[in-house]
Amino acid sequence: MGNILRSQSPSRPDILSHVGGNLRRFRQERGLSQSGLATLSGISRRMIVAIESGEANVSLSSLDRLAAALEVSFSQMVRPPEAPDSRRIASIAWRGLQAESQATLLGAAPATREAELWVWSLGEGERYPSEAGSGGWHEMLWVIEGVLTVETADGSRDIAAGDFLIFSSAAPYVFANGGGGAVRFIRNVVL
């Protein structure tokens, strides 16, 4: 599945490990049991146990639901423990099957809830399917290189280098690279 946080190479910090540690710390700070967090977030207790132990991949939208239930930002959930408490994250949060397919959360800023700045790349044939985001989120995409295909309930749209697209992420969508070579794009997620 494309919307999963994937473990990185042994030479890099493991995002699943620090996400699990952050989840446990925030849950304990709020005096919540794993069952209590499951009830608040709609994520199963079994999944929460697996995330906290660093043994499970988690979709970005599920991680966002956990952050909302804990009343923290998505960026706080994925920030490495050694990172200063700043708006610069620079954390790889998704890796695809192709070596050049990844998403890096560059930073976040206050908004109604939060605004996130990402740089993405998709290798040839790579797809990133996303679950629906919680209400009110919008995606703002600007393609740097290649042609990005965005599939929504309203249809499919190709965005070429130098062009952009803004849409609501309240329904499932897919980022796809059906052409030759890599696609690189900037993604802002805003609530």
pLDDT tens profile 48-57: 999 898 877 7
**Which segments of the chain belong to CATH 1.10.260.40?**
15-78
Does the pTM exceed 0.75? no
Of 56, 79, 60, 64, the closest CA to residue 120 belongs to 60
124: CB partners within 8 A, 6+ apart: 98, 177, 179, 180, 181, 182
CATH superfamily of domain region 15-78: lambda repressor-like DNA-binding domains (1.10.260.40)
Return d(Cα 171, Cα 91) in angstroms, integer. 26
80-125 residue pLDDT tens:
766 655 445 556 677 778 888 888 776 666 667 778 888 999 999 9
* 96-190 CATH, one of 3.40.50.2000, 3.30.360.10, 3.40.50.300, 2.60.120.10: 2.60.120.10
- Alpha helices in 71-172, H assignment, sequence order: 74-78
Structure tokens at 81: 């423990």
Domain ranges in the chain with CATH number 2.60.120.10: 96-190
Q: Is 150:141 a contact under the CB 8 Å cutoff?
A: yes
Query: What does the alpha-carbon distance between residue 45 and residue 33 come to, in Å, rounded to a whole number?
Result: 9
